[in-house]
Amino acid sequence: MNELNQNKGMNEEEMIQQTFQELLNDYLATNHRKRVEIITKAFNFANQAHRGVKRLSGEPYIMHPLAVAKIVCNEIGLGSTSICAALLHDVVEDTDYTTEDIENLFGAKIAQIVDGLTKISGGIFGDHASAQAENFKKLLLTMSSDIRVILIKIADRLHNMRTLASQAPNKQYKIAGETLYLYAPLAYRLGLNKIKTELEDLSFKYEHPEEYGIIEQKLKATASERDQVFREFTAPIREALDKMNLKYRIIARVKSVYSIWNKMQTKHVPFEEVYDILAVRIIFEPNTLEEELNDCFDIYVSISKIYKAHPDRIRDWVSHPKSNGYQALHVTLMGNNGQWIEVQIRSERMNDIAEQGFAAHWKYKEGAGGEDEGELEKWLNTIKEILDDPQPDAIDFLDTIKLNLFAQEIFVFTPTGEIKTLPQNSTALDFAFSLHTDIGSHCIGAKVNHKLVPLSHKLQSGDQVEVLTSRSQRVQSEWLNIAATAKARNKIASILRKEAKVYQAEGVKMLNELLKEKDIQSDNDLVQRLAAMHGKSADDFLADIGAKRLTLNDNDFDELKGKQDSGWKKFLKIPFIGSTANKESKDKQAANKQKQREEHQEKINTKQIYKLDEDSIQNKYTMAECCRPIPGDDVLGYIADNGKIIIHKRQCPVAMKLKSSYGKRIIATQWDTHRQLSFIVTLHLEGVDCVGLLNDVTQIISRQLNVNIHKLTIETNEGIFHGDIQLYAYDVDDVQTITNELKKIKNISSITRE
């Protein structure tokens, strides 16, 4: 037995050494300085520190830091400092070594990066909402001090996603949700498009394994057909490029499984109707950096002589790079098969930046990388501004950040011709705040292309915008519904909160004076009761008094008095509103609420997979109103504050936030209903109105399929009809059958489940 263990130990050590040698070989093949000695030293130190520790998969723990270091080297393109930090990233958190030990052995820079990674360890999120916002803040702060911290953290998350199979299902949902909600957008924003795509696909694979498998199989089944289209489409393009004496390569880019599924959901189409699965990428090597831009347009001119270009689908990211550094010229051409095919034209340098993001800029720092690094600095400054005054609520804070992560961009001009980059759907108000907070705060309108427009006017690429201001203008709460960018929304919310605090303080003062005048003492509930009588929260009530939007009169106090005993003045003990006792009471209530929540959670084994059978659905679980899941939907459970378990679809937007923010309250659930219970399902129908359409719909549902209709509403406008049908179904198969039959009606163009 000891011999077997010894052999196993030897095999593990051989595997570790072999993996490290692969890392060294990968590093030596790069253009970075060959600092093999310090990388070897970091590996030996980490190997010794983690010795004997295993991952959940059963492999030695050191294999994880080695895998992260390989991703950092090969897929992100970083050098020895980052490789060392990746090898050491869990040492301080998981062993007795300190950041000071790392600094003494490896220097201040590596220690600083390891320290940044340690501070944001355990995922972005903790157990409680305030901790989550705080940890995400730390992530962004460390990111703004050294971008390598977040790049290594993304590599760490990528390896965790690649090895997620060893985790329990509820942990898989938490980690996948968190990845899709924030890590994939962060990777995108940093230009790591390949990693972003893999993170999305892996998240989708664990959240919706069946759909993932179906789309993957369909992609394999249609691969030969796509290969033929690619060969036929690119043959004349190759001939044209050969005549230009360019060194180039043409590759096929197939849409990712997650992107295909996303398009199927948003466009409400089957796999067979997703037409942009195939795209073509032309990657060339310019003779000089100066010729790079001209070569892109020369290639475009050449291929548009072969195929007709779509006039509205030319994207010039060459002249105006995206804020994550991405550069390419996109053109959509009509192939001989009658389908539009997107062609992406980029140089080898542009391709490196598209694959490795800002990390690739170090490779080209003597060239045009400096301009893009400036774009990164602009974005980090936006993040710092948001961090200056973060949203008090964790979910609001995360949403505010996320607004700017995945946004597509437009380019607009100032009156002097300066270019400004803004997210798509930005308004004139967003533009005003992008110039300066003071300009945004006093904005009354704008001139877009010399025409007067309101603050809510949505901007388009190429617009020239002049902001109109007035010193008498004040920030309005309605502006939160107008602003689309994180920066503008955050500034508006911040100004409103500051104003509200001033008014609240004045309101407390005015109310205390009024109560003193009427010889009334205040308890903790008095403000709540007065506020409730006016249909407001306590904070809004006090702010309205302070701003003189609300005036209390004798009737308010008479009404309040009528609800109390005759000696109501005597039992009000605590003097005046705003006392420390009020805060202590709130703290005590919060602590009790947290204790209750923990007690509820202790009764539930989050590692268990809970069956959703007839009895538990009727008596134990609550179906979420936001997504109304039915048997056959991929679902999960969320433990609410009161201990009840709420069932959500896994792709439900609310569930996405819950997975990202309250991961420890997520449980794995599985349907077990055996078609015993029916559920109300709403189908939304659209199409061209015609005589007898309603009759056709009801005939199919009621008579042909024998399904009971619960509610039906249809309205028409200018020949187009919209209808909602609520009906009873056992599961998603029933819904699919009903949908397929209704689609046979000629005038119905789309059917979606609400």
Query: For 674, left (φ over 0), alpha (ψ -120 to 50), or beta?
Result: left
What is the CB neighbour count within 10 angstroms for residue 536? 15
Main-chain dihedrals φ then ψ at residue 434, nearest 5 degrees: -70, -25
Between CA 712 and CA 694 the distance in angstroms is 10
Contacts of 490 (CB under 8 A, 6+ apart): 385, 386, 389, 391, 400
CA dist 66 and 255 (Å) reads: 30
Element (H, E) at 617: helix 614-619
Task: State whether the Cα torsion 692-694-700-705 is positive or negative.
Answer: negative
Annotated catalytic residue: which of 13, 14, 22, 93?
Answer: 93
CA angle 414, 418, 424 (to 5 degrees): 70
Contact between residue 412 and residue 466 where contact means Cβ atoms under 8 Å apart: no
Catalytic residue (one of 26, 59, 94, 342): 94
Closest CA to 512 of 576, 579, 557, 583: 576
Question: Which residues, other chains included, contact 476 with Cβ-Cβ below 8 Å and sequence gap of 6+?
Answer: none
**Angle at 327 (CA atoms; ends 483, 181), nearest 5 degrees:** 50
The whole-angstrom separation of Cα 76 and Cα 30 is 12
Catalytic (active site) residue 94: yes
Task: Look up residue 733 and give its amino acid.
Answer: D
Burial of 31 (0-12, 13-18, 19+ CB in 10 A): exposed
**115 labelled catalytic:** no
3-state SS track over 13-79? HHHHHHHHHHHHHHHHCCCCCCCHHHHHHHHHHHHHHCCCCECCCCCECCHHHHHHHHHHHHHCCCC
Beta bridge partners, 666, equal 638
| Residues noted as catalytic | 93-94
